[in-house]
């Protein structure tokens, strides 16, 4: 069966994503930290089974951000990388169709960085840190 990519729906956050973040031993970001209260992104599925998700933050410039990419840690099929590539290229297509010129991401996971580079993304040579303040 082929992959399917779709926009996130309201139940994906609680029904799928919180469990994935927990299984990866990550703290799930609050819904209101994510675009559209946890609905502002894309999910890739195969045979109606969710595999990977990413969130798209739109800005008031020609730049959008692709963030919080997370996958099902129990998905062991050999096509995981293909699903991740579809998510990234799908986000690129959405952003381009909306008139954005740049897509930006911050990440630490080396394999995910390599996948982005394979798809033509440019990696900064100096690592940086994400800083957050709740105000």
How many whole angstroms separate alpha carbon 13 and alpha carbon 15?
6
In this predicted structure, the answer to whether residue 125 has a pLDDT above a threshold of 90 is no
Q: Quick one: pLDDT at residue 42?
A: 98
The domain locations on the chain are: 3-118
Q: 57 - beta bridge partners?
A: 65
pTM of the model: 0.90
Which position has the higher pLDDT, 77 or 64? 64
- Spatial CA neighbour of 108 closest among 68, 75, 51, 71: 68
Domain 3-118 has CATH 3.90.1170.50: no
Q: Are 84 and 121 in contact (CB under 8 A)?
A: no
């Amino acid at each position: 069966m082929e992959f399917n990519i779709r926009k996130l729906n309201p139940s994906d956050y609680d029904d799928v994503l919180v469990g994935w973040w927990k299984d990866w031993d990550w703290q799930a970001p609050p819904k209101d930290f994510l675009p559209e209260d946890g609905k502002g992104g894309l999910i890739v599925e195969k045979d109606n089974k969710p595999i990977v998700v990413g969130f798209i933050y739109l800005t008031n410039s020609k730049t959008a951000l692709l963030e919080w990419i997370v996958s099902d840690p129990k998905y062991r099929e050999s096509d995981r990388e293909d699903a991740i590539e579809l998510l990234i290229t799908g986000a690129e297509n959405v952003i381009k169709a909306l008139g954005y010129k740049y897509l930006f991401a911050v990440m630490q996971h080396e394999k995910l960085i390599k996948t982005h580079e394979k798809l033509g993304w440019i990696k900064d040579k100096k690592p940086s840190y994400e800083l957050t303040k709740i105000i």
